Chains A and B, each alone.
Chain A
Amino acid sequence: MTKSKTLTGGALLFEVLQEHGVQHVFGYPGGAIMPIYDALYDSDVQHYLCRHEQGAAFSAVGYARAAGTVGVCLATSGPGATNLITGLADALADSIPVVAITGQVPTAAMGSDAFQEIDIFGLSLACTKHSFQVTDINELEKVLHQAFEIALEGRHGPVLVDIPKDIQLAEVTQRLNKLSHLKNKVKLPLADISKALDLLTHAKQPILYVGGGVGMANAVDEVRDFAEKTGMPSVSTLKGLGAINPDNENYLGMLGMHGTKTANIAVQECDLLVVVGARFDDRVTGKLDEFAPNAKVIHFDIDTAEINKRRAADAAILGDLKGNLPLLTMPLYISAWQQRLQQMNTDFAWRYDHPGDNIFAPAVLKTVSDLMPSNTCITTDVGQHQMWAAQHMNFDDPSNFLTSGGMGTMGFGLPAAIGAQISRPHDTVIAVSGDGSIMMNVQELATIKRYQIPVKVVLIDNAKLGMVRQWQDLFFDGRLSETDLSDNPDFVMLATAFDIKAKLITKKSEVKAAVEEMLDHDGPYLLQVKIDSAENVWPLVPPNTANDKMMESV
């Protein structure tokens, strides 16, 4: 049955959003998107007014990642649209399904350097999976459906739809049926299953290398089942954290630049790498030529372009991990290898017995991790605190650890936590931030205030751009250029100005009670944790170095 009704382009947008199950959007109004905001006035879709379009984009990303759905953000033309770009780039690098709607000057004014006109369609080419500019009202409905379809099809990603003001105002008859599916390109299924089986049965020292693709393929159960049944020791990328059950005795932790010693040594020594939803990123491989030098590679991915991009695959299995991985799930006989790595896991376990009264950031994050309720969603910003969170916190699912992996974008944590909290109102959401990063989207404290979003912020305050300071100390002769933040604002006062309860702790003895107080508090809370500014993240694989040549202290 096909019904039809007449409505404006702006109203049609919200109809289509609702058809795709969208209940919440993040945005900021302005001249060229006013007809859409006018239609919003009558819509059931709930809009969250962020205080910067970058905040809106990151909240959409956090929403999408925490809930496993598409995140939606809106911005006006010109500066509104350009402010979205960092969020879109972040979503592209981490393959996050986001639909961004931008207003554009009216079609008649386009190309005339009109007020607040920027070619966001042109700008979008390098920072979206796909983009549209709608210049015919009769195309709008189809394009909006396609935007959702493309965001979720294959490897997820951000899609931008630029809508000129006259198109938002134009009247159109809605067709109310999801029309025009994408013409799927015929791709040859590339599946060297028998080759992979052969490699698997002959491997003596295999490693499962787990990436962010696992969560996005909705294949956490399959990967855990594979890890259990094969007994294969596993390592995870930053984005893969949470995919493997942290209690799995053969799980070795994160690999790469700040990976565990055991994970990195194991990968260097392995004779087979089973890669699931990962892409041999440079932060993972260190010096590529020396990464896992003796390993054959079985590479599972949804994106053909990732196969053989940085490391040749001996067997490539392209397509849906959920269906493909069970084909290789079987017991393996590798007990000597397992035992050696389990011993290393014990020998090189993290230590939290840090001398002195000062607060040791890894221990704080471990405490938060131990005390937080199950299914807590952690977001991070970027820097040392991010790596400490990755190293010392445990996540029960990839959707519970949201961090800017590919782009490493400071300013991600707070707005992503807002998005996550809105998508999962009953779960605890904690943003682990740094004193540098928090200031990059600090205006979003106003969003928290307005909607009373009960996000908790653990602010690791070293009064430094700590990660850059660490590199300056280690690799630039201690020439500390522009990394000092000792004149930071009073963060407790700042939070209080936004009606957010806040507390500063400076001594180890205060940690446990403060974390409990934060977790017990019903509303938003900021816990400022003062740490020694000289602390470094260890281990560290120096740039362009093999992963087993890690530094463990200075």
Chain B
Amino acid sequence: MNPVTLNKYQLIIMADDKQVVLERILQVTRYRGFLINGMNAEVNTGNNIATITMSVSSERPITLLIDQINKLIDIKSVKVDNSVAQIKQHSA
């Protein structure tokens, strides 16, 4: 079998604090073919903005996921955190 290159990315997502927003992000991420390696979500109670950091891996380009998450109505922004090195995993 050809080796599969899994790229790892860290995303920073800002969203309106709605109960369902995490579920939406999880659903889109799984459906579009990205594995979630870790996640952290916090709400700023002052402005009701949630900040979600999520590390994901996939063979697919990260722009595919960013564009889809961006389409969710409650999302304010999605960025790749470039300070976290992208790790390429090779597996058989």
Partner-B contacts on A (CB < 8 A): 121-122, 125-126, 129-131, 133, 150, 182, 185, 303-305, 307-309
Residues of chain A contacted by B27 (CB below 8 angstroms): 125-126
Q: A122-B23, A125-B24 are in contact. Are A182 and B73 (CB under 8 A)?
A: yes
What secondary structure prevails in chain B residues at the interface with A?
A: helix
Question: Which range contains the number of B residues in contact with the other chain?
Answer: 10 to 19
CB of B48 closer than 8 Å to a CB of A: no
Residues of chain A contacted by B76 (CB below 8 angstroms): 185
Minimum distance in angstroms from A449 CB to a CB of chain B: 40
**Residues 55-77 of B contacting A (Cβ, < 8 Å):** 63-64, 67-68, 70-73, 75-77
Minimum distance in angstroms from A205 CB to a CB of chain B: 30
Residues of chain A contacted by B23 (CB below 8 angstroms): 122, 125
User: Is B24 in contact with A303, judged by CB distance below 8 angstroms?
Assistant: no
Q: A121-B20, A125-B27, A126-B27 are in contact. Are A303 and B71 (CB under 8 A)?
A: yes
**Residues 6-60 of B contacting A (Cβ, < 8 Å):** 20, 23-24, 27, 31
User: Is A126 in contact with B31, judged by CB distance below 8 angstroms?
Assistant: yes
Residues of chain B contacted by A122 (CB below 8 angstroms): 23
- The distance in angstroms between the C-alpha atoms of A130 and B24, with both chains bound, is 10
Minimum distance in angstroms from A303 CB to a CB of chain B: 7
5 pairs of residues in contact across A and B, judged by CB atoms under 8 Å:
A126-B31, A130-B72, A185-B76, A303-B71, A304-B71
Minimum distance in angstroms from A145 CB to a CB of chain B: 14
User: Is A305 in contact with B31, judged by CB distance below 8 angstroms?
Assistant: no
Residues of chain A contacted by B70 (CB below 8 angstroms): 185, 304-305
Number of A-B contacts (CB under 8 A): 32
Looking across the interface, which residue of chain B has its beta carbon closest to that of A303?
Answer: B71
Residues of chain B contacted by A305 (CB below 8 angstroms): 64, 67-68, 70-71
Minimum distance in angstroms from A24 CB to a CB of chain B: 26
Minimum distance in angstroms from A527 CB to a CB of chain B: 42
- The distance in angstroms between the C-alpha atoms of A308 and B63, with both chains bound, is 9
- The distance in angstroms between the C-alpha atoms of A305 and B70, with both chains bound, is 9
Looking across the interface, which residue of chain A has its beta carbon closest to that of B69?
Answer: A305
Minimum distance in angstroms from B62 CB to a CB of chain A: 12
Looking across the interface, which residue of chain B has its beta carbon closest to that of A154?
Answer: B71
- The distance in angstroms between the C-alpha atoms of A125 and B22, with both chains bound, is 11
Residues of chain A contacted by B71 (CB below 8 angstroms): 303-305
Minimum distance in angstroms from B72 CB to a CB of chain A: 8
- The distance in angstroms between the C-alpha atoms of A218 and B31, with both chains bound, is 31
Which of B20, B72, B73, B77 has the most CB atoms of chain A within a 10 A radius of its CB? B73
User: Is A130 in contact with B73, judged by CB distance below 8 angstroms?
Assistant: yes
Q: A125-B23, A126-B31 are in contact. Are A304 and B73 (CB under 8 A)?
A: no
Residues of chain A contacted by B64 (CB below 8 angstroms): 305, 309
Residues of chain A contacted by B24 (CB below 8 angstroms): 125
Residues of chain B contacted by A130 (CB below 8 angstroms): 72-73
- The distance in angstroms between the C-alpha atoms of A375 and B20, with both chains bound, is 43
- The distance in angstroms between the C-alpha atoms of A122 and B27, with both chains bound, is 10
- The distance in angstroms between the C-alpha atoms of A304 and B24, with both chains bound, is 19
Looking across the interface, which residue of chain B has its beta carbon closest to that of A304?
Answer: B67
Closest 5 CB pairs of A and B: A305-B67, A130-B73, A125-B27, A304-B67, A305-B68
Looking across the interface, which residue of chain B has its beta carbon closest to that of A124?
Answer: B20
Residues of chain B contacted by A133 (CB below 8 angstroms): 20
Residues of chain A contacted by B73 (CB below 8 angstroms): 129-130, 150, 182
- The distance in angstroms between the C-alpha atoms of A125 and B29, with both chains bound, is 12
Residues of chain A contacted by B72 (CB below 8 angstroms): 130
Looking across the interface, which residue of chain B has its beta carbon closest to that of A121?
Answer: B20
Minimum distance in angstroms from B13 CB to a CB of chain A: 13
- The distance in angstroms between the C-alpha atoms of A234 and B62, with both chains bound, is 33
Looking across the interface, which residue of chain A has its beta carbon closest to that of B73?
Answer: A130
- The distance in angstroms between the C-alpha atoms of A182 and B76, with both chains bound, is 12
Looking across the interface, which residue of chain B has its beta carbon closest to that of A131?
Answer: B20
- The distance in angstroms between the C-alpha atoms of A303 and B68, with both chains bound, is 10
Which of A185, A305, A308 has the most CB atoms of chain B within a 10 A radius of its CB? A305
- The distance in angstroms between the C-alpha atoms of A307 and B61, with both chains bound, is 13
- The distance in angstroms between the C-alpha atoms of A126 and B63, with both chains bound, is 20
Looking across the interface, which residue of chain B has its beta carbon closest to that of A159?
Answer: B73
- The distance in angstroms between the C-alpha atoms of A303 and B67, with both chains bound, is 9
Residues of chain B contacted by A182 (CB below 8 angstroms): 73
Residues of chain B contacted by A309 (CB below 8 angstroms): 64, 67
Residues of chain A contacted by B63 (CB below 8 angstroms): 308
- The distance in angstroms between the C-alpha atoms of A305 and B68, with both chains bound, is 6
Given contacts A125-B24, A308-B63, 8 further A-B contacts (CB under 8 A): A122-B23, A125-B27, A130-B73, A185-B70, A185-B77, A304-B67, A305-B68, A305-B70
Residues of chain A contacted by B77 (CB below 8 angstroms): 185
Minimum distance in angstroms from A302 CB to a CB of chain B: 11
- The distance in angstroms between the C-alpha atoms of A129 and B70, with both chains bound, is 12
Looking across the interface, which residue of chain B has its beta carbon closest to that of A130?
Answer: B73
- The distance in angstroms between the C-alpha atoms of A121 and B77, with both chains bound, is 24
- The distance in angstroms between the C-alpha atoms of A304 and B23, with both chains bound, is 22
Minimum distance in angstroms from B23 CB to a CB of chain A: 6
Looking across the interface, which residue of chain A has its beta carbon closest to that of B72?
Answer: A130
Which of A125, A133, A150, A182 has the most CB atoms of chain B within a 10 A radius of its CB? A125
- The distance in angstroms between the C-alpha atoms of A150 and B72, with both chains bound, is 11
- The distance in angstroms between the C-alpha atoms of A541 and B36, with both chains bound, is 37
Minimum distance in angstroms from B71 CB to a CB of chain A: 6
